[in-house]
Structure 1
Amino acid sequence: MTSEPSAGRTEQRAGTAHSTWALAGSPPAGAPTGWLAFAGSMLGLLGIFNIITGVTALVRPGYFLVAPTRLLVFNYPVWGWIWVVFGLVQVAVGIGAVYGRGWARFIGIDLAALCAIGHLVFLTAFPLWSVLVIALSVMVIYGLVVRSPAGHG
């Protein structure tokens, strides 16, 4: 008879764990741990990189200019502001991901994918840097998609 109440508690815990993973709400997940903390930190770092890229495009537009046909940028000041705003959003979403917010996972995946696509523009001008940022973006996507152990974001 004592085994029945414990089985009921196990089912209740399983239901709670499932509803938390369903990301219906956005409660804090506690201290940052595991892949989610890594992904949030890397997303914030990518955001800082993109802010620097945007400021560079605004201050020194000739820095990214290699040849008229090798870089797919239409207007350097507009491109610079896009990267600055994009980077600020990435930093904010990265902070949300570190603290386990459900909305940050979904938005972070989209931002990392857009970041990787955006850095394809710089692939011919800065191949090593572009490949590094694209690889970090893929790792961010993995870190936001992978399910951490129960109770760890």
Structure 2
Amino acid sequence: MSDERQTAWIGWGWFAAIVILISGAIEILFGILAILLPASQYFTTSEGTTVYYVSLWGWWHLLIGMVLVAAGIALANGRTWARVFAVIVVAVNAVSQLLSLPAQPWWSIIVFALDLVVIYAITVHGRELRAYGRRLTP
């Protein structure tokens, strides 16, 4: 029997895991689209400044998306190391979204805000996932 209580806050942990999985899936989709269907070789803003090379940025999105999905699955399974791993990966994704501001400002702001909420959920309420994960394993 675990000495940790499970409260209603476990929903925050599940919220974090689900948001990480969805975010990872969208990042994978963005990555594949950027790699296979680049509109031009470089992305430019309305002012005409070059932001980044689309194909290279697509590979980055694909990579971070796969890592986010792995972190979400591990977090949902209640692994202790997954909380630290997920916070690091989500923080990297948040920085990546800030770098994407010129290309997609509204989407980047929304994902950045969700990343901050996920980091809060994991750091404040993540222990309960560990207690729940112990009950699931034989």
Same fold, TM-score > 0.5, yes or no: yes
CA deviation map 1:37-69 (0-9, x unaligned)? 111111111101111111121122237823352
SS in 2 for 1:100: coil
1:126 aligns to what? 104
Larger radius of gyration: 1
The RMSD of aligned alpha carbons is 2.7
* Matched residue type, 2:118: V
* Matched residue type, 2:113: A
Where structure 1 has 5 or more consecutive residues not aligned to the other structure, the ranges are 1-12, 19-28
SS in 2 for 1:65: strand
Where structure 2 has 5 or more consecutive residues not aligned to the other structure, the ranges are 134-138
1:138 aligns to what? 116
* Matched residue type, 2:109: V
TM-score, normalised via structure 2 length:
0.77
Runs of 4+ with deviation above 3 angstroms: 148-153
1:76 is displaced (CA, Å) by 2.5
1:42 aligns to what? 19
Counting matched residue pairs gives 125
1:96 is displaced (CA, Å) by 0.9
Retained in 2: the 8 A contact 1:34–1:148?
Answer: no
TM-score, normalised via structure 1 length:
0.70
**Which protein has the bigger strand share?**
2
2:91 to 113, 118, 140: 113
Distance 2:126 2:24 in 1: 23
CA separation of 1:149/1:48 partners in 2, compared to 1, >3 Å: closer, same or farther? closer
* Matches for 1:1-153 after TM superposition, within 5 Å: 17=3, 33-62=10-39, 65-67=43-45, 69=49, 71=51, 73=52, 75-147=53-125, 151-152=131-132
